[in-house]
Amino acid sequence: MRYKIQNEMIECEIDSHGAELKSLLRKSDGKQIMWGADPAYWNRTSPVLFPFVGGVKDKEYRYDGKTYTIGQHGFARDMEFTLDSQSEDEIWFSLSESEESLEKYPFRFLLQIGYRVEESSVRVMWEVQNTNDGDMWFSIGAHPGFAVERLAGHSFRLYDMAGNPVSAIKNRVFGSGGCVTDRTEEISTPDGVLAISEELFDNDALVLENEQAGRVDLIDADQALVVSVEFDAPLVGLWSPPHKNAPFVCIEPWYGRCDSESFAGTLEERDHEQKLAENELFSAGYTIKL
């Protein structure tokens, strides 16, 4: 079921399936900012990635002496959330473990996802609570897709955590099987600008680790701002489907990422994995600004 929040400047629609942001409309001109989930390119708009960001090597991971099988990006994006509260400008949903989820992920949890409109921005809020007797490991991330008429002519403008333009980025290069390699490549971004082209995503997403950016703007061919994504996450992915010249791009703040091709460890040993003690609460989020 879809729910609406709004103010005098913007209107959002969120689907309880996946607690997914499906629409972000600017009222002044009726412009739709979000990608429309055309299955010819990608049938999602802004899925929440939990309890994994990306994939695990060979779709298997190991924890406490057992091996579990799970697909890319975990399962929350495909689950029906419960509506907890709604006002004119804010809404909250929740999801907890089930028999189905425990077969894939052996932890009890409470995941709460909120959206709040503030002037021309929407704040996306995540809270993860460990409800186990003992520690819990997880990843969480965003995957919002923003509509563009075409990739060519658009650009990203990247800023570091202090708000300064990023002069170069280090991309963790993707390999096979949905995993990254152990190799990085440096890409020059003079004045923070990275031109977008179809070829930019030939090798899948760009993966920026270790707090390289805290804000990414999407700029059109006239150098006007389409949308800005601000975050405190340690990683961000930049993506559009390889070799499709799709009419959208994604700016994805992450707390975690896929495995490396060389990874052979346990869940606790995964790169960028988040850990919660018993009853501990993790809070994070990001802001989409028009």
CATH code assigned at 219: 2.70.98.10
**75 and 95 Cβ atoms separated by less than 8 Å:** no
What 264-268 contacts at long range (C-beta under 8 Å, 24+ apart), as own/partner pairs, is: 264/57, 265/62, 266/61, 266/62, 266/63, 267/61, 267/62, 267/63, 267/137, 268/63, 268/137
Q: Give the per-residue pLDDT at 7.
A: 98
**21 and 144 Cβ atoms separated by less than 8 Å:** yes
pLDDT > 90 in the chain, percent:
99
d(CA 268, CA 28): 48
Choose among 101, 109, 126, 161: nearest CA to 46: 126
Domain count, the chain: 1
Structure tokens, 249 = 């791009």
Contacting residues for 101 by C-beta, under 8 A, at least 6 apart:
75, 79
Does pLDDT of 110 surpass 90?
yes
> How do residues 90-103 score in pLDDT, each as one tens digit?
999 999 999 999 99
pTM of the model as a whole: 0.97
> Which residues form the domain of 254?
2-289
Q: Give the per-residue pLDDT at 176.
A: 85
Unique residue bearing structure tokens 């809020």: 125
Q: What is the mean pLDDT of the chain?
A: 97
Find the angle CA(235)-CA(232)-CA(255) to the nearest 5 degrees: 40
